[in-house]
Amino acid sequence: MKRPPIDMRAAWNRTSATYQELHQIPVDSAHYGPWAPDENHLRLLGEVRGKRILEPGCGGGQCSIAFALQGATATGVDLSDEQLAFARNLAAKSGAAVDFYQGDAADLSRFAGASFDIVFSAYALAYVEDITSCLSEAARVLIPGGLLVFSLDHPFRDCFWDEENNEESLTPARSYFLRDASEWQFSTSGEWMRSFHRTIGDWTDLLREAGFQVQRILEPEPVLTPEEENSWAESYDLETARLIPQTIIFVATRGA
C-alpha cells in the first residue's frame, strides 16, 4: 500500500520529543551534525559577538542559543511547532534571548533585505524541496559580503542508504547521480521523513546561481563523542561509517 504524502510539519511535530530526548544536543557551541567537530573547533564563523545571525531550520534551537550566549543577536526559524516550543523552553532555561518564528526556510519574507550578517544551518537544508528559493532568500536577507555556512549529510552517504529496507547498507545501494526525494523512517520514533539528494556539484551550482561565492567545502573525518556513539550504534555500523565522510560543510559569501 502506498503511503500518503508526508506532511513534514506534522512529522517533525510528532518526532520532536523523541529526537530531542535521544540526541541531547548541547548549547555550548553551534554544532554541524552528529559526525562533525563543532564550531568551537572549526571556527568557520569567526567572532559572532555583535553579529546578527539567522538560522533557518533551527530545530530545537541549540545553535541559535549558543550564538546568543556568545553575544550574537540570534533568530531561528523552523517548520515544526513542537521543535520551536522546545527551543523557546531551552532558551529560557539557558538564559538566552533568541527570537524564534514558525516558517519555511524557502520563505523568509518576514525579514527585510540585508538584515543579517550570517545565515547558518545545520543538517536542515536537505529537507527543503524548493532549495532555489531557500538559497535566494538567504542571499536576500544577508548583507553584501555576508556569510552563509551550512552542513548536510554528505551526499556520498546517501549512496549507502537502502530505501527498500530502511537501513544503512555496507555497499552502495543507490546511484550518487539519482536526484530525487528519499523517504525514510526514524528508527526511534517510526516517523516517515522526506529529504532530497543533491550532488556536491549541484550544491556549488545552486550557490553560484543564488549569488554566492563558495569559499570552502569541508569534509571532516567522522568524529563521535561517547554519547553520540551510544545513540547512533543501534542504527549504524559505526566502523564502516568512519570510512567515508558523513558530513559536508559549505562556507560561502554573498556577492556585493
Residue matched to cell numbers 533568530: 75
Indicate the residue type of 115.
S
DSSP reduced 3-state for 244: coil
Identify the pLDDT of residue 194.
94
How confident is the model over 166-224, as pLDDT tens digits? 566 666 768 889 888 888 888 777 899 999 999 999 999 999 999 999 999 999 998 77
pLDDT confidence tier of residue 42, bands split at 50, 70 and 90: very high
pLDDT of residue 2: 66
Q: Which residue has the higher pLDDT, 252 or 159?
A: 252
Phi, psi for residue 33 in degrees, rounded to 5: 130, 170
Residue 165 clears pLDDT 70, i.e. is over it: no
DSSP string, 77-92: EES-HHHHHHHHHHHH
Nearest CA among 77, 79, 82 for reference residue 14 = 82
| Dist CA 6 CA 252 (whole Å) | 31
Distance of CA 190 to the CA centre of its chain: 20
Distance CA 210, CA 255 (A): 9
Supply the mean pLDDT for the chain.
91
Q: Is the pLDDT of residue 19 over 70?
A: yes
All structural domains of the chain, each given as residue ranges with its CATH number in brackets, are 8-153+198-236+245-254 (3.40.50.150)
According to DSSP H, which parts of the chain are helical? Answer: 8-23, 39-42, 62-69, 81-94, 131-141, 155-158, 200-209, 226-232, 238-241
pLDDT number for residue 83: 99
Angle at 192 between CA 85 and CA 160, to 5 degrees: 115
pTM recorded for the entire structure: 0.91
How do residues 107-121 score in pLDDT, each as one tens digit? 999 999 999 999 999
**How many beta carbons lie within 10 A of that of residue 210, not counting itself?**
21
pLDDT in tens, 44-94: 999 999 999 999 999 999 999 999 999 999 999 999 999 999 999 999 999
Q: What is the pLDDT of residue 175?
A: 84
241 has pLDDT over 80: no
